[in-house]
Amino acid sequence: MSKNVLIIGAVALGPKAACRFKRLEPDANIIMVDQSDLISYGGCGIPYFISGDVSDAAQLQETSFHMLRDVKFFQDAKDIDVRINTRALSIDRKRKTVNTKHVISGKEETLSYDKLVLATGSKPRQLPISGIDLEGVYTVTDLHKAIAIKQEISEGKVGKAVIIGAGFIGLEMAEALVDLWGIETDIVEITNQVLPGIISYNLARMVQCHLEENEVSVYFNEEVVRIEGKQRVEKVVTGNRTLDADMVIIAAGIMPNSDLARSAGLKISPKGGIVVNKRMQTSDPDIYAGGDCVEVTNLITGKPSYYPLGGLANRQGRVIGTNLAGGEAEFEGSVGSFVVKLFEISVASAGLSLETARNENFDPVSAFMVQFDRAHFFPEKDLMYLELVVDKSTGQVLGIQGLGNKGDGMVGRINAVAAILKSKPTVSEISNLELPYSPPFSSAMDILNALGNTAENILAGKNRVIDADQFVDWWKNREDGNTICLDCRGWGNAEPFVNKYPDYWKSIPQDELRARFKDVPKDKKLVLICNTGVRSYEAQLIMDKAGLKNTYNLQGGVAALKKWGLDL
Amino acid sequence: MSKNVLIIGAVALGPKAACRFKRLEPDANIIMVDQSDLISYGGCGIPYFISGDVSDAAQLQETSFHMLRDVKFFQDAKDIDVRINTRALSIDRKRKTVNTKHVISGKEETLSYDKLVLATGSKPRQLPISGIDLEGVYTVTDLHKAIAIKQEISEGKVGKAVIIGAGFIGLEMAEALVDLWGIETDIVEITNQVLPGIISYNLARMVQCHLEENEVSVYFNEEVVRIEGKQRVEKVVTGNRTLDADMVIIAAGIMPNSDLARSAGLKISPKGGIVVNKRMQTSDPDIYAGGDCVEVTNLITGKPSYYPLGGLANRQGRVIGTNLAGGEAEFEGSVGSFVVKLFEISVASAGLSLETARNENFDPVSAFMVQFDRAHFFPEKDLMYLELVVDKSTGQVLGIQGLGNKGDGMVGRINAVAAILKSKPTVSEISNLELPYSPPFSSAMDILNALGNTAENILAGKNRVIDADQFVDWWKNREDGNTICLDCRGWGNAEPFVNKYPDYWKSIPQDELRARFKDVPKDKKLVLICNTGVRSYEAQLIMDKAGLKNTYNLQGGVAALKKWGLDL
């Protein structure tokens, strides 16, 4: 029962499916075609190639034991026939053939298949503006473009760059240009925050602050209206300003590359992704698809979603390989977990952000926690910032997002939550997550457990909170005079603020609050503040007991405000 | 309905239960007694205090905002009455009183309770040998002893130390003595491996090798028969040798401190732990207990187990605090997850090790994987070594153990598995764990996913493996002549071995194997070897297809042998 399997696309999912299938059915014949001559590379490594962390593009194409994954490698090591520079033009599902064309020689060839795999990937979202064809205007969707970008940079052609889009590829590219090459880099973003749809506005402000510390300017709520230049790009014009630019990188999102599937009459989702079942079969059971060209189930909402992520592509590829061999593997869907390094920080997420949860008609509330990433008495440590998004009515955890240093501590916490998120945990499961504890790695009550506890207290109505953005709004309008800030830290911490803002900032340390309760202003709304929100919560409970309930605890405390970049 | 709650023991669980309860019932009266004058310290930080990483013992007793958790702190900040130097002598459950004695004044006092919490902790396992009372012989079970140890070290009294026991406290202490203080340190261990009962023999050998690289000698299968000296310790005598010692640290395990509970007629397990239900109630529903004095359910075996771990104590304390206030919190049990830092490596675990699983009458097999901890093309990376323990008959994942560098990457992987282990996952759930991917943090097919894949292939009979210890056994007896090693790496890697051991080491690179199949020795058992076990698995499949099945793939490849310390 030797089979002929044809695979269209030889990056990530295609090779993975091919190799898995071949290991299960060594007698099968596999042909894999790709329109490029560069195949089987780690596309997520492109920003690190451009930055110089990865010196040579070939490294992205190597196995971990330094073999180049080229045509010869697939032939000799894998017994897989790879045809590069070969574009698939059309699929004839009745005859089970694919018409291909060699992009250099122009020669057409018809290949037959028993089973077909579509790994056609994604394409960049095009901007409907003039100037996108000028020299120096790039997307970063394939390795050839990345090589061209790096070439121009290393030739000294780029002193000033503009990136369009503050999603994670845009931000990774900003780091790549700034960190090693010292290129002056601006980002233009159409929404009001970085990483829109991925993290909350409050966390986004913290990321933005870090970008600004690294001299990356981000212009929000601005749309690029045209790109100007003679032959080469010179300027980027937005609704609000004109920015000089020797290079423009368009990172305004990507879309499924599903034209071939659409032409073949396969079912395509309204958003353009190829529709597949859990076995990764398209509407034609002899045709599988996966990776950046398909939609899969969002395991939080149950709805189809688009996750162009390399980790998913690889796991889906293995599922397809197993099923090609008659197996019963399934890819359930995704909680959309991701991590990104930006200069000295990492940002990671699984599940829905606060705003996304709202848009999905949940009734979300967020708990926010700032705590050291390991035992607070351990000498090397950093603050970590974590937000848990919870549905108020059910207590279901919908997502988690956070920010930490550039080490592995942040992603390690997200790993734990990502592992259970699809089983719809409640906050008490976060409170009771069993995280290995030792002072060099974690806290006895780790930040994740503490975050679960905080969420539980918020849901129980015991911890009435406000977030940094609400604090900032109030602070701007503080002269209304209805609200004051009660600082629950020791006098040493509070003193400078009390002296600077005597009308708006009072000090009663939490451990003196019972004795000094008479000093608490009773006629105003109180914003309770401490370093991270823990002592101010204790203060709130003491005041609740005394019947004073017009108090709001600033989640994350002064640490959150500082990270936000608020200069008080 | 104000309540009187009495808590015996003011480290970890006691304070956590007290503070949680007080936040829920601010009107309650809480008395917490402790026989020591040092309370509420992070006991797991003791090795870092001794090493000098934590300079001052008081730091272990501080909150993260630098307030010392002493009697005044509990009074002012928490409204909790703490009585130090106060030993609980007996419990009168009928009258609901506890008789206490001040250890300095000798004054006795009877305290009444509505609810009682036992947080009596653990005590060191005593060795039935002479000399344990000599000066310089210590356990590290409390902060006073730790202060005394550090005092002696800093006075220059200790040039040579012997540690009895190679469990994780023994190993942490070895690092503490060697790393900063440069003390010549030997460990005597009664079993045949470090971390017995926690990691497999193969992983233990890798840890042992790292200890030896750091000049810590471990003597296995040796029992200490006596400790010698006049006033101060001078020598440690084992069944095999006599070791000089200026200091001896006994780390031969700890046991629940349950005497008080036993005298009060509470139910005690055969192993000495106080028996509690999921609500952490003892056999007397008005008495709660938790932390190092209780047994809880092992969520893999369903049996009662003893886990004296700080993380559990804190979470159990919160459960007790909630239940004291009439709540319905439960502590389900534990999968026994832990992590330890040893010089430049971290070792982490959740669930059962291979040997433990065997002892629990499972039919376990282990999959072993060596892979980079992040994208292999990312410049800063390290190999990671992970073992998955799986029940052969059911495919249930029983445990995971691993070794990585001293960063947070290793524990981050264990976090993910620890989170799902109690729900009895199969290997396919490890294959499909959704780990956030970005090259600076992980691989597109992360080591955890790859480990699940390998386990799946082993269970399916596709990957026939041997482990490093089996390789070592064969290598010792290689002159039998029945087996040879087939090196599947490139010739450059294989050449030195082929030249050195022409009768036992052949080279056919995996990508040449199809073409050179005629060169494969067909009359011998073949041990297939490559750098990490991936290419040798491919080679095995090629030979399987050709009908040659007397082949065994060395899991972890040369990387595992190197880490083991085998010098070929």
Whether residue A548 is found in the same domain as residue A405: no
Whether residue A485 is found in the same domain as residue A560: yes
Whether residue B470 is found in the same domain as residue B453: no
pLDDT tens digits, residue range B490-525? 999 999 999 999 999 999 999 999 999 999 999 999
pLDDT, residue B109, reads 98
Q: For residue A45, is it within any domain?
A: no
Cα A61 from Cα A65, distance rounded (Å): 11
Whether residue B281 is found in the same domain as residue B169: no
Check if A313 contacts B (Cβ < 8 Å): yes
Residue B40's identity, in one-letter code, is S
Whether residue A318 is found in the same domain as residue A427: no
Count of domains for chain A: 4
Cα A256 from Cα A296, distance rounded (Å): 12
Q: Which of residues 205-264 of A touch B (CB under 8 A)?
A: none
Report the residue of chain B nearest A313, measured CA to CA. B444
Give the position of tokens 């999959």.
B367
Q: What is the biggest distance separating any 2 CA atoms in chain B, rounded to whole angstroms?
A: 89
Check if B21 contacts A (Cβ < 8 Å): no
Q: Which of A404, A437, A459 is the last residue of a domain?
A: A459
Distance from CA of A198 to the nearest CA of B (A): 13
pLDDT tens digits, residue range B305-352? 999 999 999 999 999 999 999 999 999 999 999 999 999 999 999 999
Burial of B237 (0-12, 13-18, 19+ CB in 10 A): middle
Spatial CB neighbours of A496, under 8 Å, sequence gap ≥ 6: none
> In the numeric block, which tokens belong to residue A249?
């990188």
| A473-A474-A478 Cα angle (round to 5) | 130
Number of H helices, E strands in chain A: 16, 31
pLDDT tens digits, residue range A455-506? 999 999 999 999 999 999 999 999 988 999 999 999 999 999 999 999 999 9
Q: Which of residues 483-512 of A touch B (CB under 8 A)?
A: 489-490, 510-512
Confirm if A337 and B448 have CB atoms less than 8 A apart.
no
> In the numeric block, which tokens belong to residue B326?
């009439």
CATH number at residue B540: 3.40.250.10
pLDDT tens digits, residue range B156-195? 999 999 999 999 999 999 999 999 899 999 999 999 999 9
Residue A461 zone, left/alpha/beta (φ > 0; ψ -120 to 50; rest)? left
Whether residue B378 is found in the same domain as residue B450: yes
Whether residue B239 is found in the same domain as residue B269: no
Mean pLDDT of chain B: 97
Q: Which of B200, B217, B252 is the last residue of a domain?
A: B252
Check if A291 contacts B (Cβ < 8 Å): no
> In the numeric block, which tokens belong to residue A136?
């120096």
Whether residue B229 is found in the same domain as residue B196: yes
Q: Do A318 and B453 touch (CB under 8 A)?
A: yes
Q: For residue B248, is it within any domain?
A: yes
Mean pLDDT of chain A: 97
Q: Which of residues 110-139 of A touch B (CB under 8 A)?
A: none
- Mapped onto helix, strand or coil, the DSSP state of residue A283 is coil
Give contacts of A67 with chain B, Cβ < 8 Å.
Answer: 490, 511
Q: Do A541 and B12 touch (CB under 8 A)?
A: no
Nearest CB to A511; choose among B73, B346, B441? B73
Give contacts of B536 with chain A, Cβ < 8 Å.
Answer: none
Whether residue B221 is found in the same domain as residue B111: no
Q: For residue B513, is it within any domain?
A: yes
Q: Which of B442, B459, B476 is the last residue of a domain?
A: B459
Strand blocks (E) in B357-464: 364-372, 383-391, 397-405
Whether residue A262 is found in the same domain as residue A244: no
| B346-B347-B351 Cα angle (round to 5) | 150
- Mapped onto helix, strand or coil, the DSSP state of residue B82 is strand
> In the numeric block, which tokens belong to residue A25?
């059915």
Q: For residue B304, is it within any domain?
A: yes
Nearest CB to A419; choose among B419, B442, B531? B419
Cα A429 from Cα A77, distance rounded (Å): 46
Whether residue B94 is found in the same domain as residue B182: no
What is the distance of C-alpha B394 from the center of its chain? 26
Tell which of B64, B198, B305 to mutate to test the A interface (max A CBs under 10 Å). Answer: B64
Q: For residue A127, is it within any domain?
A: no
Tell whether the model's pLDDT for residue B1 goes beyond 80. Answer: no
Check if B70 contacts A (Cβ < 8 Å): no
pLDDT tens digits, residue range B222-276? 999 999 999 999 999 999 999 999 999 999 999 999 999 999 999 999 999 999 9
Whether residue A94 is found in the same domain as residue A161: no
Cα A5 from Cα A29, distance rounded (Å): 6
Cα A533 from Cα A530, distance rounded (Å): 6
pLDDT, residue A59, reads 96
Tell whether the model's pLDDT for residue B2 goes beyond 70. Answer: no
Tell whether the model's pLDDT for residue A267 goes beyond 50. Answer: yes
Which three-class secondary structure string do you get for B142-209? CHHHHHHHHHHHHCCCCCEEEEECCCHHHHHHHHHHHHCCCCEEEEECCCCCCCCCCCCHHHHHHHHH
Check if B535 contacts A (Cβ < 8 Å): yes
Size of interface A-B (CB pairs under 8 A): 293
Q: What is the pLDDT confidence band of residue A567, given thresholds at 50, 70 and 90?
A: confident
Tell which of A411, A489, A534, A540 to mutate to test the B interface (max B CBs under 10 Å). Answer: A411
- Determine how many CB atoms are found less than 10 A away from the CB of residue B212: 12
Confirm if A331 and A280 have CB atoms less than 8 A apart.
yes
Give contacts of B454 with chain A, Cβ < 8 Å.
Answer: none
Q: For residue A381, is it within any domain?
A: yes
Tell whether the model's pLDDT for residue A1 goes beyond 60. Answer: no
Cα B143 from Cα B126, distance rounded (Å): 18
pLDDT tens digits, residue range A226-252? 999 999 999 999 999 999 999 999 999
Distances from the Cα of A94 to the Cαs of A112, A114, B137, B365, B459, in angstroms? 11, 11, 83, 47, 39
Nearest CB to B415; choose among A415, A511, A542? A415
Q: Domain span at residue B314? A: 4-40+57-121+255-324
Q: For residue A46, is it within any domain?
A: no
Q: For residue B332, is it within any domain?
A: no
Nearest one of B224, B248, B245 to B235, comparing CA atoms: B245
Q: Do B541 and A23 touch (CB under 8 A)?
A: yes
Q: Do B79 and A12 touch (CB under 8 A)?
A: no
pLDDT, residue A568, reads 86
Number of H helices, E strands in chain B: 16, 31
CATH number at residue A299: 3.50.50.60
Report the residue of chain A nearest B510, measured CA to CA. A77
Q: What is the pLDDT confidence band of residue B277, given thresholds at 50, 70 and 90?
A: very high
Nearest one of A320, A284, A260, A330 to A18, comparing CA atoms: A320
Q: Do A375 and B334 touch (CB under 8 A)?
A: no
Distance from CA of A180 to the nearest CA of B (A): 14
Nearest one of A309, A396, A29 to B434, comparing CA atoms: A309
Distances from the Cα of A152 to the Cαs of A139, A148, B194, in angstroms? 14, 6, 55
